[in-house]
Every structure is written in C-alpha cells, then in structure tokens.
Amino acid sequence: MDKRVIVIDHPLIQHKLSIMRDVNTGSKDFRELLEEISMLMGYEVTRNFQLEEVEIETPICKTKAKMLTGKKVAIVPILRAGLGMVDGMLKLVPAAKVGHIGLYRDPVTLKPVEYYCKLPSDIEEREIIVTDPMLATGGSASDAIKLLKDKGAKI
C-alpha cells in the first residue's frame, strides 16, 4: 500500500459514520458528525508533520518545547462534497489556506472536466490535504491530485 494512503478505522469514526448513514439522522446532525469525523481524520493525517524544538517561557521557567515546522498547509476540498470536511480540518490547522477544485466526469468520454480551480498562490510550497468524503473508485481524487500537480503542487 502507498505510504501516503492512510486507512483510518478508529472506533469513534466508525461509530459516527454509522450514525451518519442512519436514515433517521437529520441534516444538522449529519453536518456536525462530518465535522467531528474530519477533525478525527485530520489528527491522523497530520501525524507526520515536522516538529522543531524551541525555547519558550512558561509561567515558571524557560523550557524547550516542540512546535510545528516545515511547510505551510493547504486544505483543498473537491467540490462540493469535500466542503463539509473543511471546518473540521481548520479547527486543527486554523492557519491553513483553503483552495477549491471543481470536477465532473463527462458523461460521454468519462474523462474529468475541470470547471473550477482556485488555489493558494504559493501552492507549490504547501503541504496539501485534499478532502472528499465520497471515495468510490478514487477517480475524482486521482484527477484532483493530477490537477494539483499540473498547477505546481509537490505531492
């Protein structure tokens, strides 16, 4: 399996997914659960972000502590479904820039068609998290990643 593919099977995520899938779950609860799941997924997705040791002043004394270093982050939802995951991710990484990718599949050729793409101007310098809660064949995700690469992203 590709090291960049992270399978998240945490019990809390499985539980919340079950509630989301229930026909009796309303729109408000669905959106809240999606945000919660996004935060839990974000925790795992950011697990390997780089840290550096810095000196900070605590109320008691100076000490060495770990802080994030390395690339800035971009969260790029695939429109429209991926939008529901952005707020949860932003709660974890509030300084992240948000881009958007809009794709649809041509019904005749079955090839992806880009209808919208707005990315941070420095996308090539960012760690990118692509969000899309609906992964069937992976075609849209693969197409979005190709589009990001074409726009200069280092993936």
Residue 139 has pLDDT above 90, yes or no: no
Residue 64 has pLDDT above 50, yes or no: yes
Whole-number pLDDT of residue 16: 95
| pTM for the model | 0.84
Under the banding of pLDDT at 50, 70 and 90, the label for residue 1 is: very low
Q: What is the pLDDT of residues 21-44, one digit of tens each?
A: 999 999 999 999 999 999 999 998
Under the banding of pLDDT at 50, 70 and 90, the label for residue 130 is: very high
Q: Please list, in sequence order, all residues whose beta carbon lies within 8 angstroms of the beta carbon of residue 116, skipping any fewer than 6 positions away.
A: 79, 100, 101, 102
Whole-number pLDDT of residue 124: 92
- Cα–Cα distance measured from residue 107 to residue 30, given in angstroms and rounded to the nearest whole number: 30
